[in-house]
Structure 1
Amino acid sequence: MTWGAERDKQRQVTTARPLVFGILPFMTPVAIFTRFAPLRDYLSQQIQMSMFLETSPNFSAHLSRISQRRYDLLVTAPHFVPLAIDTTYYHVVAKSLDNIATCIVVKPNSAIQELSDLSGKSIAIPPETAMVTMVGREMFRDAGLIGEKTPQYMSFLTHNAAYEALTGQQIFAAVVSSNVLTTVSTTDYRRLACRDSFSSLGVLISTELPPLLQQQLTTAFLEIDKNPQGLTVLKTMKYTGFKVSENADFQAMRPYADRLQELELMSTPSP
């Protein structure tokens, strides 16, 4: 196919509707749109095409929409990436430069000093299908909090909600992502423990988009930190940029992806 024919094909595909840009619902819808709408606008300007930003009501719906090939562009958590790849509808083109940490935080004046102090205590966690929750549970298990010492996990719909639950009287700690902590005052919590484990975001593009458009989107992500307007967008998003990536880079996430699928089939996850 000649370049001109490829361009015409791209125009035909994209003039019928806006591109759909899907975002993992890791925060409230308002918070997500506040942080990512500037990225949508930037990308739309770079490729000269309209783009519709969409999140989902929960992780289950997000996973379902991925499997339905709903998105042209997808930014999601690393343990969702292998499942998106499995559909054959998407391929990885980039990942965030920023690694995400799983943090266990307590109130500033809490008497809790180490993880072992949380034996049997009430802990706020994001959805069970969140990778931060999976890693947080690992941290407690590694600290010996198993069996009768297992904390009482209380699941909330979003990462933000899990953090905000810390203000309640019955919650002794919260498992949150470092992303959430960038949006709140450091005087409102104390970090008890953190574990760096993974790149915070994977960027995938639909394999059905014209190759030229796929390349334009990829370039827009990879060069965003070289553009003054792009740097402003990154500041709003609280990210530093993106780097080249491919499907194989997320193979290490397979155990978490498998756990994600398992949780989708279970009404009550095991401790």
Structure 2
Amino acid sequence: MMEKRLVLSENGNKLIPVLGSRVLSQRACLLSAIFTAITVLTITTLTLILTMATGLNRVWAQPPPMSVAEKSFETPLQFGLLPYISTRKLFTYYLPLKQYLERTLGRPVRMSTAPDFATYIKRAEEGSYDLYHTAPHFAALAEQAYGYRRVSQYRRVLEGSILVARESDIKKATDLRGRTLLTPDSLAIITFLGEQWLRDNGMQPGVDVKVKNTPSHNNAILAVMHGEADAAVTASNVFETMLDETRERLRILGKTQRVPNVMFMSSPRLSDTEYRQLRQAMLSFTAKGAGKEFFAKTGYVDMVEITDNDMQSLIPFVIQLNNKFDMP
């Protein structure tokens, strides 16, 4: 027979008789509920702790935020190349310099060019290039008008060679009267020098001698070699790097005046730190150092600083360039 016990009612205001088994059942239920609550609370707490720990691990695993200077070195340096020869040859020539800059600066370098000189100048004005490899009068213009800063230039001076076919009957400058002279792009300083050479020899470009522009130095040289034109003016170093069979079929009729050679300029958007590092890297790319093979192949001799005298000597060509821009 079950033992009866008195227990307190739910509202706590009276005692009620219950069987012993029911008391045990209630106690068991109460203990079960307490255990369940503790278990749920423990699991919830552990889950919360694990979640927080995971979140902290993710935070700790993230690299610290980069400064503006650090971010800039993740961005490729835009290296603009003057389109004075074919794009294939241009990129082949300057690949060693690109690779050197990537190693030295610790950032990617992206080479690009343009279809012609006018487009190239326009892109420089728009800020497309961080490192601007360019003709000397374009460099002077970029410094004066666009805020570009001097980086370096080739030691070898720039001059033009007037070329004719080796078997041509053109023996002296005045024999070009009534003939055709091919030049590179109309804005090229070599074109300006070639036209001045005609004037110095008593001939007016476009009147006594027909002047015809071609897309590049290579095109002008090859046209004369194939008998498609009487003569061409080209940068002397470009002619010197042509294949032997090409040079053997041509003859140098004359030379133009000399001017500073190709220059490298820095975009004004580069920070002072980036500019200094770029300039130092370029001036360290020398014929006795990292640039040994490059200079041996291209004939540019070495890398040097750009001086005030260099820029001063280019003023007449910048004026001539601006006059070209103003022409309809």
TM-score (norm 2): 0.74
Aligned residues: 260
Shift of 1:9: 3.6
**Cα pair distance change 1:8/1:148, threshold 3 Å:** closer
Name 1:12's counterpart in structure 2. Answer: 71
Alignment partner of 1:80 is 2:141:
no
Q: Distance in 1 between matches of 2:256 and 2:287?
A: 30
Among 294, 308, 312, which residue is 1:233 paired with? 294
Alignment partner of 1:103 is 2:156:
no
Within a 5 Å distance, the mapping from 1:117-266 to structure 2 comes to: 117-146=175-204, 150-184=208-242, 185=244, 186-225=247-286, 228-246=289-307, 249-266=310-327
Q: Distance in 2 between matches of 1:170 and 1:220?
A: 43
2:73 counterpart SS class: helix
Q: Distance in 1 between matches of 2:199 and 2:255?
A: 14
Alignment partner of 1:32 is 2:90:
yes
Greater shift, 122-131 or 222-231, is seen at 222-231
Name 2:21's counterpart in structure 1. Answer: none
Deviations 1:61-106 (A, max 9, x none): 1110111011111110011012211234311122110111111011
1:193 counterpart SS class: strand
Larger radius of gyration: 2
Unaligned runs of 5+ residues in structure 1 are 1-6
**Cα pair distance change 1:194/1:147, threshold 3 Å:** closer
Deviations 1:123-175 (A, max 9, x none): 11111111101110111111111389611112111111111110243411111
**Cα pair distance change 1:148/1:95, threshold 3 Å:** closer
- Output the amino acid matched with 2:71: Q
**Cα pair distance change 1:246/1:88, threshold 3 Å:** farther
Q: Distance in 2 between matches of 1:107 and 1:253?
A: 32
TM-score (norm 1): 0.89
Unaligned runs of 5+ residues in structure 2 are 1-65
Q: Distance in 1 between matches of 2:287 and 2:186?
A: 37
Shift of 1:39: 0.9
Name 2:172's counterpart in structure 1. Answer: 114
Contact (CA 8 Å) 1:91, 1:247: kept in 2 or not? no
- Output the amino acid matched with 2:216: T
- Output the amino acid matched with 2:112: E
